[in-house]
C-alpha cells in the first residue's frame, strides 16, 4: 500500500504547498482522493500515470478539496482518455462539473459517471475484486465524508515444503491458494491448512478530511492500517475548532488511539503555522506512531 501526498495544506495554495490531494495505491488499484488546485501538476511532477486513475473521491465541496477537478477532467480528454471515470462526492458535484463543461463547450472523450452521496450513515460505495470503499460520515460546515479503503483478502500462501512432501503438482497451486484441499493418487485428502499459510492481513486506509473532533467515526475505522486525520490547528488554538469545524493534532491522536490504528498521518495544516514539527510533537504525546503529511512525500506500508 502506497500513499502519495500531492497537497496537504488548508484553505489556499501557497508557494510552498498545495491544498488537499492524495493518490492511494492499494492492492494494484490507484485512486485519487480530493483534488485541490494544482493536483494535475503534482501528478505530473511525481510521474503518476493519469490513465491508472479510474476512481476519484471528493470529501466535500469546499474549494481547497475539489477546485482542481475540472482541469483534470479536461486534461483527460486532451490525453485521449477512453477509460470510464467514476467520481464520488456530495450531491451537487455533478451539477458543478457539468455546468463548467457546458459553458466552456468542453466534451469528454470518455464516459463520466457521478456517484452523488447524501447519506448521513456509513455506506459501501464501491466494491470490486480489489478493494471495498466505505464512507466515513464527518462533521464539518458542509456535508462531508471521509473514506475507508480496504483491500480484498489475498490468497493463502503455499507451504512449498508440504507441497513437495505430498507431491502436489503445480497445476493445483491456484486451487490450493484459494482454499482447496488436495487428494493424493492414493485417495488421501490433505487439508488446506497443511499445505498453506495464512494470507497477509488485508490492509486498510482511512481518510478523514475536514471534521470537528467526533468519536462517532471510531467504530468505522477500528484497526485501520493507516489513518489520515486532519489537524488544522495546534492545541493552543483549539477554541477555533468549534467555529470552523476542524480538529487539532492532539484530537487526531486521540481518535487514532481510540480506533487502535497502526499509523497516524496528520495534514490539512493551517498556514498560520511555520513549524510543522509542532503538530507531530503534540500528537505523539498521545499516539507515538504519528507522521506528517508533506507535499511530495510518499508513504509505503
Catalytic residue positions?
Answer: 64
Which phi and psi angles does 150 have, rounded to 5°?
Answer: -125, 125
Helix 93-103 to helix 69-78 angle (10° resolution) is 50
Q: How far apart are CA 2 and CA 53, in angstroms?
A: 14
Which phi and psi angles does 132 have, rounded to 5°?
Answer: -120, 135
Spatial strand order of the sheet with 2-7 comes to 112-117, 85-90, 53-57, 29-35, 21-26, 2-7, 298-300
Please classify residue 239 by burial: count the beta carbons closer than 10 Å to its beta carbon, then call 0-12 exposed, 13-18 middle and 19+ buried: exposed
Query: How many CB atoms lie under 10 A from the CB of residue 86?
Result: 17
Q: Which of 95, 92, 56 is nearest to 72 (CA)?
A: 56
Amino acid at each position: 500500500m502506497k500513499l502519495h501526498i500531492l497537497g496537504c495544506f488548508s484553505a489556499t495554495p501557497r508557494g510552498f504547498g498545495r491544498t488537499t490531494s492524495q493518490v492511494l495505491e492499494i492492492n494494484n488499484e490507484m485512486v485519487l482522493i480530493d483534488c485541490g488546485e494544482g493536483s494535475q501538476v503534482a501528478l505530473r511532477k511525481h510521474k503518476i500515470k493519469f490513465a491508472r486513475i479510474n476512481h476519484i473521491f471528493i470529501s466535500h465541496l469546499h474549494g481547497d478539496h475539489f477546485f482542481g477537478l475540472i482541469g483534470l477532467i479536461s486534461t483527460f480528454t486532451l490525453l485521449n482518455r477512453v477509460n470510464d471515470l467514476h467520481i464520488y462526492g456530495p450531491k451537487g458535484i455533478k451539477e458543478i462539473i457539468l455546468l463548467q463543461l457546458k459553458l466552456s463547450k468542453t466534451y469528454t472523450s470518455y464516459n463520466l459517471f457521478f456517484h452523488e452521496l447524501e447519506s448521513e450513515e456509513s455506506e459501501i460505495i464501491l466494491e470490486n475484486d480489489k478493494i471495498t470503499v466505505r464512507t466515513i460520515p464527518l462533521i464539518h460546515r458542509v456535508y462531508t465524508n471521509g473514506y475507508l479503503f480496504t483491500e480484498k483478502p489475498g490468497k493463502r500462501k503455499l507451504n512449498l515444503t508440504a507441497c513437495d512432501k505430498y507431491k502436489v503438482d503445480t497445476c493445483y497451486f491456484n486451487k490450493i491458494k484459494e482454499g482447496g484441499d488436495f487428494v493424493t493418487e492414493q485417495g488421501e485428502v490433505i487439508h488446506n491448512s497443511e499445505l498453506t499459510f495464512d494470507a497477509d492481513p488485508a490492509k486498510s486506509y482511512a481518510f478523514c478530511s475536514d471534521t470537528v473532533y467526533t468519536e462517532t467515526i471510531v467504530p468505522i475505522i477500528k484497526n485501520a492500517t493507516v489513518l489520515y486525520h486532519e489537524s488544522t490547528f495546534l492545541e493552543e488554538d483549539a477554541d477555533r475548532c468549534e467555529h470552523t469545524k476542524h480538529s487539532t493534532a492532539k484530537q487526531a491522536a486521540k481518535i487514532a488511539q481510540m480506533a487502535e490504528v497502526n499509523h497516524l498521518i496528520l495534514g490539512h495544516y493551517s498556514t498560520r503555522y511555520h513549524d510543522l514539527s509542532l503538530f507531530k510533537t503534540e500528537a505523539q504525546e498521545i499516539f507515538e506512531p504519528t507522521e506528517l503529511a508533506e507535499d511530495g512525500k510518499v508513504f509505503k506500508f
